[in-house]
Structure 1
Amino acid sequence: MKRASKGDVIFDSIKWIFLAVVVFVTLYPFYYVLIQSLSQGMSALTDNVIFYPKKLTLENYIPFFTDEKWKTAIFISVFRTVTGTAIGLMFTCLVSYSLSFKDLAFRKFYFTILIISMYFSGGIIPYYMLLKNLNLFNTFLVYIIPGALNIFFVMVGISFFREIPQELFDSAHVDGANDFIIFWKLVLPVSKPFLATIALFLGVEHWNAWFDSAFFVQKPELKTLSFLMMQIVNKNQISGSVSAGAAAYKSSMITSFSLQSAAMIIAVLPIICVYPFLQKYFVKGMMIGSVKG
């Protein structure tokens, strides 16, 4: 085995030091928020929290799981994410799969509508009036229907479905399979990278969405977790963001920043837990359309 030269050793050392610095700079902000959320608020204010929690505690998370408002918001966000992702995935697959066929009637017309709607928007006022005329205000459907079809994901799906060999469809037709069976038993099983990638993007989008909850929903029982967390993060004082009893309990132990840290951890934790299961498909899905147009 050839012995590494002095120059190679120096280069490798610099490379690993640089990578270690990049990893530290990338991960430490998240780690800092985590240890702040696990520290007793007043102790974290008096002692610098750098590498480990001060007076380890879970009291910063208690309001999010004991207050009825927060428990309802968690349910609404989970239900919205699951429902919105499933419906968005279904419509995206159906539309993109249909438009991937070059002999589809009025295909150019459909493409024109999609391209125009992707690059041009009517604006917030027409959007507001449309939702109002559809009676979607103060309903759960305002979270689902407007985002049921993402044009960009449709374009990605068209690129993916075009890469499926035509011979697979021809052999399936010869065996007597109809279009529904081909789509369900042939196309979807080979589309796992695409489905996993789109599902991850849709899930993150629905989980983090707060704009529609802020402007199109006034009912407290329909507010999402992201909206309440935005209120927490943007407030300098915790009063009004939790129940009066919980606020009185916190006054001596929990600070505004420790509560904000707990809110941020709760916001990102579900995505971190889901991503490892989709990673092997996500890497493949990110390459969709990079070779063939």
Structure 2
Amino acid sequence: MLHMTAGEKVFQFFLILFITLMSVAMLYPFIHLLSVSLSTPAEAIRPGLHVYPLEFSLEAYNKTFASSQIWIGFKNTIFRTVAGTFLALFMMALTAYPLSKKYLPHRSFYTLFIVFTMFFSGGLIPSYLLIKGIGLINSVWVYVIPVMIQTFSLLVMRNFFMEIPSELEDSAKMDGAGDFRILLSIILPLSKPIMATVGLWQAVNHWNAWFDGMLYIQDPSKMVLQMFLRKLIVSGEEQEMNAIMNQAPGVEIVTPETIKAATLMVATLPILIVYPFIQKYFVKGIMVGSLKG
């Protein structure tokens, strides 16, 4: 700041002000929900800004965690997120590695063929008929198998692999290593930034997804947490709300507002907790993976 001109200082001031206002605008809904979820019913329905609970209560969380539907949704969502992220990374690495090699025959054709699917798809009805034809209707694997390959993530991973010096692979081949051994022992250990970046994308997508569950799942025991949230909040179904509010009866009462806020916080916090552990890889992975075409 000491070496800036007057114009640069003015620009820096408004830039910081703009970023601060944007941060507040994005953080306030989260803070509001947290405050409402920790408030008594009377405080939760109070009009105005909710920054912190004036009357503290954990009853909404007690009733939320006492609901069996929450735990069923958690179990299926965790399975979907863990299995879906791992299989997606594995399958995309197997696809991106050969596409990153210039000596692959017809590499441009294969790449264009894959890119085509990013802009055009068969549509909802053909997709449903395909899922039904391969027997994934009402199966938990419908959350994982159809989305193992994400075109954009695949291309970013391929571009990152192209930046790895080919001399490392040549030396490994001289020692007798095959392509699969090179991928597992050399390429993937050097690709932690892009694997963490793509893994974060996949984990967030799986954790927040609900539309495929609405289309293909009828068994309540196989529904993910986001499907339950949609029924609770968007559809406004009283059956799910009453099922929670009638759990674990106690002295305190709860309202639909506190239950919704507590349920949203329970569904949001786990994926937020994961981000700080891979944030250091995120910027490097996305920058390097997007440079080379």
Q: Distance in 2 between matches of 1:125 and 1:69?
A: 30
- Report the Cα distance in structure 2 between the residues aligned to 1:288 and 1:33, rounded to whole angstroms: 37
CA gap 1:49/1:7 in 2 versus in 1, 3 angstroms: closer
- Distance change >3 Å, CA 214–CA 14, structure 1 → 2: closer
Q: Which residue does the alignment assign to 1:60?
A: 60
After superposition, the Cα gap between the structure-2 partners of 1:173 and 1:39, relative to the gap in structure 1 and judged at 3 Å, is same
Counterpart residue type for residue 186 of structure 1: I
Would the aligned equivalents of 2:245 and 2:254 in 1 still touch at CA under 8 Å? no
Aligned partners of 1:200 and 1:291: how far apart in 2? 20
Confirm or deny: 8 A CA contact 1:42 1:252 kept in the other structure: no
Match of 2:45 in 1: 45
2:267 is the alignment partner of 1:267: yes
Say whether the 8 Å CA contact 2:63–2:245 is kept in structure 1: no
Could you tell me whether the CA contact under 8 Å between 1:88 and 1:148 is conserved in 2? yes
Is the CA contact 2:159–2:291 (under 8 Å) kept in the aligned structure 1?
A: no
Q: Bigger shift: 233-242 or 107-116?
A: 233-242
Gaps of 5+ in 2: none
Distance 1:183 1:242, change over 3 A: farther
**Contact 1:33/1:261 (8 A) holds in 2:** yes
Is 1:155 the equivalent of 2:155? yes
Task: Report the number of matched residues.
Answer: 292
Two-structure CA RMSD over aligned residues (Å): 2.7
Structure 2 CA distance for partners of 1:170 and 1:31, relative to 1, 3 Å: same
In the alignment, is the contact (CA less than 8 A) between 2:67 and 2:247 conserved in 1?
A: no
Aligned residue for 2:138?
138
The alpha-carbon distance between structure 1 residues 292 and 17, as it changes in their structure 2 partners (threshold 3 A), is closer
Identify the residue that residue 206 of structure 2 maps to in structure 1.
206
**Which is further off, 171-180 or 153-162?**
171-180
Give me the TM-score of the superposition, normalised by structure 1: 0.89
- Give the stretch that moved more between structures: 171-180 or 40-49: 40-49
Q: Match of 1:134, as an amino acid? A: I
Report the identity percentage: 38
Aligned twin of 2:284: 284
Worse-superposed segment, 75-84 or 9-18: 9-18
- Is residue 82 of structure 2 the alignment partner of residue 82 of structure 1? yes
| 2:31 partner letter | Y
Deviations 1:194-253 (A, max 9, x none): 100000000000000101111100001000001101122214464433527726949973
CA distance in 2: counterparts of 1:17 and 1:209, whole angstroms: 34
Q: Is the 8 A contact 1:204 1:271 kept in 2?
A: yes
- Relative to structure 1, the CA distance from residue 251 to residue 159 in structure 2 (aligned partners, 3 Å threshold; closer, same or farther) is farther
**Who is 1:227 aligned against?**
227
Decide which moves more: 71-80 or 166-175.
Answer: 166-175
- 1:99 paired with 2:108, answer no
Q: Which moved more, 1:33-42 or 1:57-66?
A: 57-66
| Cα 1:71/1:160, change in 2 over 3 Å | same
The aligned residue for residue 195 of structure 2 is 195
5+ residue gaps, structure 1: none
CA distance in 1: counterparts of 2:162 and 2:13, whole angstroms: 46
Kindly provide the CA deviation profile for residues 56-114 of structure 1, in whole angstroms up to 9, marking residues without a partner as x.
12222233321222211111100110000000000011100111112223434422431
CA drift at 1:11: 7.4
- Structure 1 residues 42 and 173, CA, compared in 2 at 3 Å: closer, same or farther? same
Farther off after superposition, 164-173 or 100-109: 100-109
Q: 1:122 is matched with which residue?
A: 122
Distance 1:156 1:26 in 2: 28
Report what 1:111 is aligned to. 111
* 2:52 aligned partner, one-letter code: Y
Question: CA separation in 1, counterparts of 2:191 and 2:77?
Answer: 27
Provide the secondary structure at the position in 1 that maps to 2:264.
helix
Maintained 8 Å contact 2:67/2:244: no
2:21 maps to 1:21: yes
Q: Which moved more, 1:238-247 or 1:138-147?
A: 238-247
From the superposition, tell whether residues 211 and 9 of structure 1 become closer, same or farther in structure 2 (CA, over 3 Å): closer
Matches of 2:10 and 2:113 in 1, distance apart? 58
Structure 1 residue 54: deviation in Å?
A: 3.3
Rate the CA distance shift 1:44–1:197 in 2: closer, same or farther, 3 A.
Answer: same
